[in-house]
């Protein structure tokens, strides 16, 4: 009879470095030491260098007087303002051009992306040419082209090109009418806010109604009518309290109206055209990613074409499109820092440019500038992860 042996086979007790857990600990400890010594060395050098150059570290410089003018300021700023204020001005300008760029790039991108899938041969080819041209030319070249070859080549203000005699284009940028609110205008934004809340409530109501009765209401139409109609009625009822100041040519320049810098126009054009080429590809791949079986299934259920598109194709395409689109938006925000090449006063040009040159506080300023972009990116990726977790395909 086979008896179990009383002595278990001895477990291998090789040398310590054969044990995976201990080996991992050793590797990490060594890495930690190397990094700590390296960083310590860099910090040591930096402190010595700063001392040798007579630079004091710290954020005290933000209180100092800036003493330079900025061509585009969204909030009150004079050359007597502080360096801290230049940071705010630059950040606002970055956000302005990014927001404008995101809106324009999304619209152009969707149009071009859908056009590439068009059955119309010419339209599809034209869209392909658009994508392949603008995607493969560096953004910086495009910015410089729009600025120096197009906008700087426009005539002087006296010979401005005009559009409907209200918009004027010249070498100093674009001049457009300036809306001036009169007494009683405040009611319109309130009406708009109320209408938006009303539209959201109506949407929720319609959803519940469809869940219980199966009848769908035309949510989009009624919502749009609410959001556009209510403020319009209030605006007209209060006697159209808005005056448009149309720019007038007096002497060598325009008076009245809003002047938009050519730098902003060039940057906006280049950013939207460049990013739109990428968004178009994302939209196209998103729509193509919805398998043909889905549309066929919808057809065999005899769903109308519009419902198939709205309830079946678009929601599934969006799951592919939105995460990629967000990363394109982030790219656009980061790319807006190329403003410095043409002198648009964004965060990098104003704060990491002029302010840095004047104060010499390289470490603090570069760190603050990078921190702004890092915070934006990390926040957006965090939100994106939440979104991905929510829309993940629910599988067994």
Q: Is 32 in the site for another protein (CB under 8 A)?
A: yes
338 binds another protein (CB under 8 A): yes
Cα–Cα distance between 116 and 127 in angstroms, integer?
5
Residue number, 129 or 307, with CB nearest to another protein: 129
- Decide: is 36 part of the binding site for another protein (CB under 8 A): no
Q: Quick one: which of 378, 136, 147 has its CA closest to 278?
A: 136
291 is a contact residue toward another protein (CB under 8 A): no
User: Cβ(354)–Cβ(68) under 8 Å?
Assistant: yes
- What does DSSP assign to residue 161? E
| Size of the chain, expressed as the number of residues it contains | 396
What is the rounded CA–CA span in Å between residue 105 and residue 277?
8
One of 17, 18, 31, 103 touching another protein (CB under 8 A): 31
Asked if residues 74 and 93 have their Cβ atoms less than 8 Å apart, the reply is yes
Q: Which stretch binds another protein (CB under 8 A): 28-36, 106-114, 204-212, 294-302?
A: 28-36
Binder to another protein among 17, 18, 27, 236 (CB under 8 A)?
27
Return the residues of window 373-392 that contact another protein according to CB under 8 A. Answer: 373-374, 376-378
How far apart, in whole angstroms, are the C-alpha atoms of residue 235 and residue 190? 11
Contact segment (CB under 8 A) with another protein among 9-17, 168-176, 255-263, 329-337 equals: 329-337
Give the CA count within 13 Å in the CB-facing half-sphere of 29.
6
Taking residue 177's Cβ as centre, other Cβ atoms within 10 Å add up to 15
Size of the site for another protein (CB under 8 A): 55
Do residues 275 and 196 touch, judged by C-beta distance below 8 A? no
In the block, which residue shows the tokens 């959803």?
207
Binding of residue 145 to another protein (CB under 8 A): yes
Q: Does 119 bind another protein (CB under 8 A)?
A: yes
DSSP letters for 333-366 = HHHGGGGGGTT---HHHIIIIIIHHHH--HHHHH
- Residue choice 37, 59, 99, 118 for contact with another protein (CB under 8 A): 118
Beta carbon of residue 362, minimum distance to another protein (angstroms, whole number) = 4
Query: Residue from 22, 36, 49, 162 that binds another protein (CB under 8 A)?
Result: 49
Q: Which of residues 354-373 bind another protein (CB under 8 A)?
A: 356, 362-363, 366, 369-370, 373
- SS3 call for 168: strand
What single-letter DSSP state applies at residue 58? S
Among 33, 37, 132, 304, binds another protein (CB under 8 A): 132
Q: Which helix (H) or strand (E) holds 244?
A: strand 242-245
Q: Is 155 in the site for another protein (CB under 8 A)?
A: no
Question: Would you say 137 or 187 has its CB closer to another protein?
Answer: 137
> What is the contact surface with another protein in residues (CB under 8 A)?
24, 27-28, 31-32, 35, 42, 45-46, 48-50, 52, 118-123, 126, 132-133, 135-142, 144-145, 148-149, 152-153, 334-335, 337-338, 340-341, 348, 352, 356, 362-363, 366, 369-370, 373-374, 376-378
């Amino acid at each position: 009879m086979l008896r179990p042996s009383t002595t278990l086979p001895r477990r291998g007790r090789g040398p310590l470095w054969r044990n995976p857990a201990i080996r991992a600990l050793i590797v990490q400890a060594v890495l930690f030491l190397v990094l700590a010594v390296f960083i310590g060395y860099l910090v040591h050098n930096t402190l010595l260098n700063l001392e040798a150059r007579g630079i004091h570290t710290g954020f005290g410089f933000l209180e100092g007087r800036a003493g330079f003018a900025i061509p585009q300021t969204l909030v009150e700023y004079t050359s007597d303002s502080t360096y801290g204020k230049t940071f705010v001005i630059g950040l606002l300008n970055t956000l302005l051009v990014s927001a404008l760029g995101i809106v324009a790039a999304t619209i152009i991108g969707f149009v071009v992306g859908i056009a590439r899938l068009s059955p119309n041969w010419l339209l599809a080819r034209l869209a392909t040419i658009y994508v392949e041209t603008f995607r493969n030319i560096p953004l910086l070249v495009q910015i410089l082209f729009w600025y120096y070859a197009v906008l700087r080549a426009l005539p002087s203000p006296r010979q401005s090109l005009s559009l409907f005699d209200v918009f004027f284009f010249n070498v100093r940028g674009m001049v457009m009418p300036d809306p001036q609110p009169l007494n009683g205008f405040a009611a319109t934004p309130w009406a708009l806010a109320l209408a938006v809340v009303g539209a959201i409530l109506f949407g929720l109501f319609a959803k519940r109604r469809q869940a219980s009765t199966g009848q769908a209401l035309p949510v989009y139409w009624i919502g749009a009518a609410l959001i556009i109609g209510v403020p319009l009625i209030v605006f007209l009822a209060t006697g159209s309290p808005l005056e448009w100041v149309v720019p007038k040519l007096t002497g060598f320049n325009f008076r009245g109206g809003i002047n938009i810098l050519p730098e902003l126009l060039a940057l906006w054009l280049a950013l939207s055209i460049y990013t739109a080429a990428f968004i178009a590809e994302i939209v196209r791949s998103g729509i193509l990613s919805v398998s043909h079986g889905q549309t066929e299934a919808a057809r065999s259920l005899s769903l109308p074409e519009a419902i198939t598109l709205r309830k079946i194709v678009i929601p599934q395409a969006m799951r592919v499109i939105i995460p990629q689109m967000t990363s394109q938006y982030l790219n656009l925000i980061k790319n807006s820092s190329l403003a410095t090449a043409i002198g648009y006063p964004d965060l990098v040009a104003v704060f990491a440019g002029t302010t840095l040159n004047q104060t010499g506080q390289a470490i603090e300023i570069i760190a603050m500038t990078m921190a702004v972009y890092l915070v934006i990116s990390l926040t957006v990726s965090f939100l994106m992860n939440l979104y991905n977790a929510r829309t993940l395909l629910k599988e067994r």
